Amino acid sequence: MTSLTNNDDNFAISAEKYLAKYNIIACLEDSITQLLEHREENPKVVPSKFLCEYFCSLRDGNHTMFREFSYIRSTPHNRASFVALFWKCFRQIGKKGDLLSIQEYHSLIGLICPDFPFKLVQKTARIVLIDDALDCLISFYDFIYAFQVQFYYEEFLEKTFDIYQSQLQSMQSPRDPVIVPTSGENVKIHQNPHLPSDGVDSMHFFRAIYPLLNRVDYSMPPESSLREILFNVPRISFYGFLMSIAKSDSINAHIGYLPEKSMLLEGVDVELSS
């Protein structure tokens, strides 16, 4: 679990930055809030035992079950744990080979987070399907890895989409030819060879998103994985970029919560109980 066990430079940063990096204050505040709420229902609760169980659940990634969306979204560990919890609860769907609609996936997610927004499931579907095919059915295999990157990297994907759209708009439209003056009466007309559907130049796109990789206020894929995706093709569409991130083994390993694809359907589903 990269959010908790990555020890790179942990001893080289200040205590304040360490607490912020691993969302320690948020965890402590939530643990006390949960203890006080539980004590109202059960005055005989033993605080030390409750807190021990709370942090064991946090460590094991089971702490997001039946919690509100605002809590699940609040830290990278919570987001990735929730995706892994969804996988553990419903991998049987993949074993059966069932194909589900985005409405059905949203209904399943709602069983473990009742207020989870449908919009995020729609965005997940757009990684797997093109916009005019959102009513098609999706395999569990395709959905779970797309759901992981959409939820875990939500802010990064929003910012890279804005950059992509800006680069598309800056491309000279093929309907607006560039007129090159010459010494004679004839003029040369240069037609842009790339349509917007071709995507954007991969290297220009990488240079534009590179500054995002130094941000600390949201999660982002490792630079090496982005280079692997963008340095091997001359041009890329945003749909192709999303698909490549969702299918990247190195990005899945970097997040560190879902198993590799060959092991996705192994194990027994978790029983839903409050």
Q: Which pLDDT band, with edges at 50, 70 and 90, does 17 fall under? A: confident
- Residue 187: pLDDT over 50: no
Whole-number percent of the chain with pLDDT over 70:
83
Residues 132-160, mean pLDDT to the nearest whole number:
93
pLDDT of residue 269: 65
pLDDT of residue 178: 47
- Over residues 26-46, the pLDDT tens digits come to 999 999 999 999 999 999 999
> Sign of dihedral through CA atoms 192, 194, 197, 202?
negative
Whole-number percent of the chain with pLDDT over 90:
68
Q: Which pLDDT band, with edges at 50, 70 and 90, does 4 fall under? A: very low
- Over residues 63-72, the pLDDT tens digits come to 999 999 999 9
Q: Which pLDDT band, with edges at 50, 70 and 90, does 131 fall under? A: low
Residues 78-91, mean pLDDT to the nearest whole number:
96
- Over residues 155-171, the pLDDT tens digits come to 999 999 999 999 999 87
- Residue 195: pLDDT over 60: no
pLDDT of residue 10: 63
- Over residues 225-265, the pLDDT tens digits come to 999 999 999 999 999 999 999 999 999 999 999 999 888 98
pLDDT of residue 177: 52
| Average pLDDT score over the chain | 86
